[in-house]
């Protein structure tokens, strides 16, 4: 009893935590209920990390947890709901990079308490399968078109016709979300909600369903749903425009332009709060902008539109076939889409492309085109799409295989812990020997480099001395060539009087050189130091060559030992 009481108190704390954080955002200052509701639900979506779960990932979770075999009116308890949410968020963490991992336990706790507070306010500890599907499919991430297609597959019959009773059940469940964030008076469920969405239609197919719910404006009871998706798309949109009220030099999110006051624009914060200045009034019609276009782009867009080069009245969604949609939550054995479903999508794309081509040929704004050419182009496009889909399917399968191999390799095995200690000791000795040889080789390379520098300097000194002696023997009055040639070694330069030729002795040029070299030049008969230095350089080169051979032999030994260990481990695993 004490444990149950602690769990209940913890659940109440987590429930209050989410709503306290939402109140801290001060969303209630937004004067329009549509924006207020969309902002609150967007906050819940992000706080529970549902925006990171795509609708297709959500459908996969429904399948993996066996919900596709249950009736929509079947009830599940809170513990099973917690299991389903755990699988959703743990799978999400597997898809996310390590630097963007989420707190799974916190996300599960917050979302679980929000769902229970929304759909089990009386405390029965149960909720229906359809309520959970409707809530998670609505609040997860992804495109609104994909969400609506999935919802239609849940509320339509085998002929692809919407069942009004199921749509009414969907509205009953999904409109509990605004009520949960204290917006029930504006968007609560009523018995007339279905007829306000479809006042005249008797037979609702998929395209009609999408036309109504994605219209501008959508039905009043669901007007917050597309707005929530638009909020997600404009959170990081930048507008280099000054707000006419708060004088901010830039805007983030939505931008609102008055249709009566010339050049009057408001940022989303000022518009949501009902701020106005000058002749502008809150009663003026405002146009919402979700992107920024420069004046040059606006002019180009206007010219293209006036010349008829841009399509007019594009449909808000692709046109789908009138046949029944396949259910999108059937049990399957692979996370990849089946080839039959991809072929169906290809046929839909081809049909829509052919329809557009036929409309283009009948249009008066564009020159007539050859239908056969269009159909050939569509055939080539379908072939290209099929090739790309096949390649994509192969890549996904390869990624799945590599992920499984990585998970298997990362798990500790007994064979790894029972490796031969003798072989490991030999490997450590060989690596130590290799490190010593590399250090010796590095030191010899440095010595060889210094020796070659000295050799080059001495060779230049010898050449200058020979030219100097030849000049003195010939009695030339000009300055010695050694003055212009210079020395690579450091040497002092003696100051001379005007008109005199600067000279320097071999001792001056050899400052900083060894005593052996100084003695050789001071006697006037230079020894053959070039040969000695060349011999020393060759000796170092030969030593380095032997070191390289020895290093290669150590590497070969390391490779043989590692290959031996791998073979032993493979043999142990096979046994």
pLDDT at 307: 52
pLDDT for 11 beyond 60: no
Lowest mean pLDDT among 6-20, 50-64, 309-323, 479-493: 479-493
Q: Rounded to an integer, what is the distance from CA 45 to the centroid of its chain? A: 20
Average pLDDT, the chain: 76
pLDDT at 200: 78
pLDDT for 416 beyond 70: no
pLDDT at 431: 76
Peptide linkage before 217 cis (omega within 30 of 0):
yes
pLDDT tens per residue across span 62-98: 999 999 889 999 999 999 999 999 999 999 999 999 9
pLDDT for 573 beyond 90: no
Between CA 364 and CA 167 the distance in angstroms is 41
**3-state SS, residue 354:** helix
pLDDT for 347 beyond 90: no
pLDDT tens per residue across span 406-415: 777 666 555 5
pLDDT at 1: 47
Mean pLDDT of 429-446: 77
pLDDT at 450: 78
Lowest mean pLDDT among 438-442, 504-508, 514-518: 504-508
Mean pLDDT of 369-391: 65
Between CA 50 and CA 205 the distance in angstroms is 29
Share of the chain above pLDDT 90, in %: 37
Mean pLDDT of 137-165: 94
Mean pLDDT of 462-489: 59
Q: What is the pTM of this model?
A: 0.54
**Dihedral sign, Cα of residue 59, residue 62, residue 68, residue 72:** negative
pLDDT at 545: 72
Q: Which of 491, 513, 512, 514 is nearest to 503 (CA)?
A: 491
pLDDT at 290: 86
More confident residue, 391 or 530: 391
Q: Which of 133, 132, 168 is nearest to 151 (CA)?
A: 133
Q: Which of 265, 219, 222 is nearest to 242 (CA)?
A: 265
Residue with token string 């606006």: 298
pLDDT at 322: 62
Share of the chain above pLDDT 70, in %: 64
């Amino acid at each position: 009893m004490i444990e149950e009481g602690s769990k209940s108190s913890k659940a109440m704390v987590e429930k209050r935590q989410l709503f306290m954080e939402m109140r801290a955002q001060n969303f209630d200052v937004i004067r329009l209920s549509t924006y207020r509701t969309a902002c609150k639900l967007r906050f819940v979506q992000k706080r529970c990390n549902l925006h990171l779960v795509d609708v297709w990932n959500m459908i996969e979770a429904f399948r993996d947890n066996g919900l596709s075999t249950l009736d929509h009116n079947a009830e599940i308890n809170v513990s099973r709901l917690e299991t389903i949410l755990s699988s959703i968020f743990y799978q999400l963490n597997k898809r996310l990079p390590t630097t963007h991992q989420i707190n799974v336990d916190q996300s599960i706790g917050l979302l679980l308490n929000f769902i229970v507070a929304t759909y089990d306010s009386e405390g029965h500890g149960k909720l229906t399968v359809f309520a959970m599907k409707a809530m998670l499919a609505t609040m997860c991430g992804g495109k609104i078109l994909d969400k609506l297609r999935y919802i239609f597959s849940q509320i339509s019959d085998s002929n692809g016709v919407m069942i009004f009773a199921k749509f009414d059940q969907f509205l009953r469940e999904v409109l509990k979300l605004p009520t949960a964030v204290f917006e029930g008076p504006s968007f609560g469920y009523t018995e007339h909600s279905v007829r306000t969405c479809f006042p005249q239609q008797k037979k609702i197919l998929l395209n009609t369903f999408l036309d109504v719910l994605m219209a501008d404006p959508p039905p009043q009871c669901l007007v917050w749903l597309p707005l929530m998706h638009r909020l997600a798309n404009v959170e990081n949109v930048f507008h280099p425009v000054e707000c006419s009220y708060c004088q901010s030099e830039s805007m983030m999110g939505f931008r609102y332009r008055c249709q009566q006051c010339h050049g009057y624009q408001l940022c989303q914060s000022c518009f949501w709060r009902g701020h106005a200045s000058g002749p502008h009034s809150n009663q003026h019609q405002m146009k919402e902008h979700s992107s920024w276009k420069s004046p040059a782009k606006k002019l180009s867009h206007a010219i293209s539109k006036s010349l008829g080069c841009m399509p007019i009245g594009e449909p808000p969604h692709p046109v789908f076939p009138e046949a029944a949609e396949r259910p999108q939550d059937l049990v399957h054995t692979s996370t990849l889409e089946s080839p039959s479903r991809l072929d169906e999508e290809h046929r839909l794309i081809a049909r829509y492309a052919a329809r557009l081509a036929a409309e283009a040929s009948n249009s008066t704004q564009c020159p007539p085109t050859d239908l056969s050419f269009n159909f050939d182009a569509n055939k080539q496009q379908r072939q290209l799409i099929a090739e790309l889909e096949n390649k994509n399917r192969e890549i996904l399968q390869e990624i799945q295989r590599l992920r499984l191999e990585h998970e298997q390799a990362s798990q500790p095995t007994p064979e790894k812990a029972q490796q031969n200690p003798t072989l490991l000791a030999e490997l450590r000795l060989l690596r130590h020997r290799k490190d010593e040889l590399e250090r010796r080789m590095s030191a010899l390379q440095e010595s060889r480099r210094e020796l070659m520098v000295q050799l080059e300097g001495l060779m230049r000194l010898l050449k200058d001395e020979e030219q100097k002696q030849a000049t003195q023997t010939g009695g030339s009055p000009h300055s010695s060539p050694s003055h212009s040639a210079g020395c690579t070694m450091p040497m002092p330069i003696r100051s001379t009087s005007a008109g005199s030729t600067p000279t320097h002795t071999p001792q001056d040029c050899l400052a900083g050189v060894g005593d052996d070299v100084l003695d050789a030049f001071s006697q006037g008969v230079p020894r053959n130091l070039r040969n000695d230095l060349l011999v020393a350089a060759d000796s170092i080169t030969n030593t380095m060559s032997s070191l390289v051979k020895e290093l290669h032999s150590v590497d070969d030994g390391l490779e043989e030992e590692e290959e031996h260990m791998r073979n032993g481990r493979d043999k142990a695993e096979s046994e």
